[in-house]
Amino acid sequence: MVAAASRELKDHETVFVGIGIPQLGALLAQRTHAPHLTLIYESGVVGTQPQRLPLSIGDPTLVSGTYGIFNFYETFSMLLQRGFIDVGFVGGAQVDKYGNINSTVIGDYDKPKVRLPGSGGGCEIAGLSKRIVIITPHEKRRMVAKVDFITSPGFLEGSNTRAQFNLGGGPSAVITTMGVLRFDEQTKEMRLDSYHPGLSLEQVRQNTGWDLKASPNVKETEPPTAEEVRILREELDPQGIFLKKAVS
């Protein structure tokens, strides 16, 4: 899962990252195929090369040795709104078949069953990055036909509904604990591109909250290399703080 996330990033790109698996994916990319990747956190840290595994987006290790720090408003205006972010690495409690993300409430907004943290930077990161990569555990209750609340816009109701809001970009991939999903060019519906080693298309479908279609050339996800596994386990997350949440 982490290796699959890292492969979505290209060298010299700028990526807005969150804590957990997204951050591990970005740090892995930085140590393998994308040494010039610029990691940006919503705390305003730009270009970090942390000395230890950061446990929050404002961890002090992100600061020491980074090449720049923006204040809060500048981070969202001059970096994101101005159009300098290539990739947003985002997650949420629910993701639907058009890549919309809910991190606000389960149930009704005014009488929520579960109150979640809310947007944070998510809404504008999803709206304004040149593309977004969604990273999420793959469970039926999380991968739903329609999210209870659109916190961060994906393709909204599919087809060209996102463009009607003058938003470019949109989700390019969804990396889950079970596979990699991408979007149909016309309908903008999510479909399975690959399932992780040891799993099958049928197993992924059983854990998805709608009738998931597969890409015509659906295949097994390329497994992580020995070197990627070594970097993750020995250098980036030796205590397994985030890795234990990422199956394969």
Which residue ranges make up the site for another protein (CB under 8 A)? Answer: 19, 42-45, 55-60, 62-65, 69, 71-73, 75-77, 80-81, 104, 109, 112-124, 126-128, 149-153, 156, 162, 165-167
- Distance of closest approach, residue 108 Cβ to another protein, in angstroms: 11
3-state helix, strand, coil in the chain (%, to 5): 25, 25, 50
- Distance of closest approach, residue 41 Cβ to another protein, in angstroms: 9
Whichever of 109 and 198 has its CB closer to another protein, that residue is: 109
Burial class (CB in 10 A: 0-12, 13-18, 19+), 73: exposed
Within 77-173, residue ranges assigned H as helices are 122-128
Task: Report DSSP state, residue 12.
Answer: T
- Distance of closest approach, residue 217 Cβ to another protein, in angstroms: 32
Task: Report DSSP state, residue 178.
Answer: S
Residue 123: which residues within 8 A CB-CB, separation 6 or more? 151, 152, 153
User: By C-alpha distance, which of 147, 61, 49, 56 is closest to 98?
Assistant: 147
Told to judge if 42 belongs to the known catalytic residues of this protein, a careful annotator would answer yes
Whichever of 92 and 179 has its CB closer to another protein, that residue is: 92
- Distance of closest approach, residue 58 Cβ to another protein, in angstroms: 2
Among 8, 13, 42, 228, the active-site one is 42
Report how far residue 146's alpha carbon sits from residue 97's, in angstroms, rounded to the nearest whole number. 7
Whichever of 100 and 207 has its CB closer to another protein, that residue is: 100
Whichever of 169 and 224 has its CB closer to another protein, that residue is: 169
Enzyme catalytic residues: 42
